[in-house]
Amino acid sequence: MRKENFPAGLFSYRKERYKGTYVIFISGVEEDLQRFVVPLGGAKWSVKKGAWYVNDNQRNRRVLQIREEYIGPAQLEGLCEKNCLAFKLYVDHLVLKAYSHNTIRMYINEFVQLLRVLGVVAVDDLSASRLRDYFRYCLEKLKLSENTLHSRINAVKFYFDKVLRRPELMIEIPRPKKPRLMPRVLSIGEMRLILELTPNLKHNTMLRLCYGMGLRVSEVVGLKVGDINSRTMQVLIRLGKGKKDRYVNLPVSVLEQLRTYYRAFRPKEYVFEGQDGGQYSIRSAQQVFQAALSRAKIDLKTGIHGLRHSFATHLLEQGTDIRYIKELLGHNDIRTTMRYTHVAPPTIKNIKSPLDNLDLPPSDKSSGNK
């Protein structure tokens, strides 16, 4: 269902977490629901809620013409009046800073956990020692992982640094050491198998572009037809992580398939579009990759982001300068790219020990020690 065909103001919406994901419940006159909502791609009926719902994503919000609202009854539940005001100021500041939708949602979810624990205690009255106690509670009682605790500290820090203008409260808060996990990487052989066993033209083309250009999943589904320049063999990646544009090289081997795909599907705006038009969903792209892993019988616990890891690692194995890999991936810091030096086994295996340069024959003399 295209945006221009969907009537504005005809339905009411509420967003909440349902069955482990965020969804939009739609209410209205039954006749209108049957006419407009039921044909909407991915619309489902909840017996428990007695309502139709769709996944809460950028495409559905655009189609339903929903203005993004981050504050609702669910967020304010259990907060005292002072903390409700602090929460609203917090959200306003995030929006004015033009943070991405996902970052705003993550920060809100983490910050509101603190406000709920505080009860009637105003967040503005907290001391550095009380904040330390709270984060210790998160680690010891709530058993938050190191990565989750980092996210929560960042969310709380944003309030005291940027909204309240009291950065000194967070200066001495220690951060847990993150586990240094190696990126999950597919071998060249596994990549070949995955692509050979993905017969669907759209899915195969998506996986080829994702791996062949080292794209994030948000970048591959956000790729627009006009961003691909077959004359220069470059692709413009718009507003990647950190809202940065960058150019990547279009693999020569995918050009003819890309043309075949375009003739078959005739995408209007995005290279990969859903059944009802608009941007292909990230969740669907993840499912495409998981299905490909399953067909290839590859038991690797990774998402489609593993294609990006594999791209970087395989470039490194080919001898590509890591500075160029950094630019292709869109990393700010070379240290982020350097982690791939730890997962390129052929490169490490090719390093020759200095002992081998001595050209010594093997010793056949027995030791004189008894």
Catalytic residues: 216, 241, 305, 308, 331, 340
- Only one residue has tokens 């507003």, namely 239
* CA distance linking residue 52 with residue 34, whole number of Å: 10
Q: How many CA atoms lie within 13 A of 89 on its CB side?
A: 15
Report the Cα–Cα distance between both ends of the chain, in Å, rounded.
Answer: 87
Looking at this protein, which amino acid is placed at residue 3? K
Token duo for residue 45: 């009926």
Show the CA angle centred on residue 137, arms to residues 119 and 125, nearest 5°: 40
What does each C-alpha distance from 325 to 308, 311, 318 come to in angstroms?
11, 9, 11
- Which residues are bridge partners to 27 per DSSP? 12
CA dist., res. 76 & res. 96, Å (int)? 20
How many whole angstroms separate alpha carbon 263 and alpha carbon 277? 16
What does the alpha-carbon distance between residue 337 and residue 342 come to, in Å, rounded to a whole number? 10
Around 334, how many Cα atoms within 13 Å sit in the side-chain half-sphere? 4
